Amino acid sequence: MTVHELSRTDARRIAVRAQLLDATRPDGLPDVVRRLTLLQIDPTAAVAPSADLVAWSRLGASGYAPADLAAALADRRLLELRAMIRPAEDLALYRAEMAEWPERGTPTSWSEYHGTWVAANDACRRDILDRLGAAGPLPSRELPDTCELPWRSSGWSNNRNVTKLLELMVQRGEVAVAGRSGGGRLWDLAERVYPDTPAIPVAEALRTRDERRLRALGIARARGPECQVEPADVGEAGEPAVIEGVRGRWRVDPARLGQPFAGRAALLSPFDRLIHDRRRTTELFGFDYQLEMYKPAAKRRWGYFALPILYGDSLVGKLDATADRRAGVLRVDAIHEDVEFDRAVTEAVGREIEDLARFLGLELVLPR
């Protein structure tokens, strides 16, 4: 098979088009989620929740409102699965893997611990299933914690037995997120939430997921570091490629090759899939970025929740902004320019910031 030889510009444009961030806007929220394969859920809302930011950055304020996502989840066109929003029809790609739990994509030591821990707390698992069967959907606080073996962790999940058990029961296909109330998850029996679609065999499902992920990314490494829930690599999907000045072998979606490119400006969520793989972001875009919300304020370079700025096929800066809903304003604290903005970039980025304020329903306050 021919190995495609690409410049970095070629690779960047393939990635931007695949992520629906070029000048051609997609046709509404269902089209966005099907083509991206997912929207990642993250509760941080310094500007807006990540899923809303990703949808808005593709559709604009005139094409998307958060109520659209809420409605699609409520009528089950979209489903929440392990902190990812996916098209309901994609559940068929995960059913067989659920049936052969413990989960794939997790280090062996963790997978073994998960299996042992769930088995030790089988009585609690059955108590939860009985309670949901009788009264679900319910928040986790209304479910019994009868675990005999507490969940041990050095992090925030230590002793959060019911929450951790529910998350593992999702992987087993026993329970599902049926909705949200005040931001918290409502749980129910999976059979009441998921569509009644037959499972696709594991090998075929994994291959299809790799193919769909490559179509959404455009170009990616065949193998990458282990990543739970949604891998950053694509296996043998697509065709082999090399990128000028970048080490290693890549896989490219052949349907993306040779297409014309017209770009635009876009403001991205810190969790956007265009930049989610930080190594790929550095190699293709030469873009230095970290989410700094966990750093002390004095050590932040760009801000608590800075939004990467895309212009054409380049990542050109970061927007430090905060949505102050109590005051009714979107406050722009700084626009960090990685490269000096010319008039065209300044105007295009300015229009996106105005559209973001319009999307949020807030008055825009710019730095003096």
Mean pLDDT score of the chain? 94
Percent of the chain with pLDDT over 90: 86
Please state, as a whole number, how many other Cβ atoms lie within 10 Å of the Cβ of residue 351: 12
pLDDT for 251: 97
pLDDT tens, position by position, 233-285: 899 999 999 999 999 899 999 999 999 999 999 999 999 999 999 999 999 99
Instruction: Spell out the alpha helix ranges (H) of 151-270.
Output: 161-171, 190-193, 202-217
The pTM (predicted TM-score) of the whole model is 0.94
Burial letters 284-310, b for 16+ CB under 10 A, else e: bbebebebbeeeeeeeeebbbbbbbbb
Each residue's pLDDT tens digit, 114-168? 889 999 999 999 999 999 999 989 999 999 999 999 998 766 667 789 999 999 9
pLDDT 10s digits, 259-269: 999 999 999 99
Beta bridge partners of 190: none
Candidate from 34-43, 81-90, 220-229, 316-325 with smallest mean pLDDT:
220-229
Q: Give the separation between CA 10 and CA 336, rounded to whole angstroms.
A: 26
Token couple for 271? 């969790």
Can you give the pLDDT at residue 67?
96
How do 219-221 and 363-365 pair as beta strands?
Answer: unpaired
Contact 356, 47 (CB under 8 A): yes
Distance CA 353, CA 321 (A): 10
pLDDT confidence of residue 154: 66
- What domains does the chain contain, in order, with CATH numbers? 4-67+78-87+200-256 (no CATH), 89-192 (1.10.10), 264-365 (no CATH)
The predicted pLDDT at position 328 comes to 97
CB contact at 8 A, 88 and 77: yes
pLDDT, position 319: 98
Q: Which among 124, 201, 129 has a CA at the least distance from the CA of 170?
A: 129
Residues in the chain: 368
Determine the Cα–Cα distance for residues 309 and 243; give it in Å rounded to an integer.
23
Contact, 200 vs 207, CB < 8 A?
no
Helix axes 8-18, 202-217, angle to 10 degrees: 110
8 A C-beta contact, residue 32 and residue 268: no
Edge-to-edge strand order for the sheet containing 39-40?
A: 39-40, 84-87, 78-81
Instruction: Enumerate residues 6+ apart whose C-beta is below 8 A from 59.
Output: 25, 26, 28, 29, 32
Q: What's the CA gap between 272 and 54, in Å, rounded? A: 6
How sure is the predictor about 78, in pLDDT bands with cuts at 50, 70 and 90? very high
- CA distances (Å), 197 to each of 88, 91, 94, 101, in order? 10, 8, 11, 19
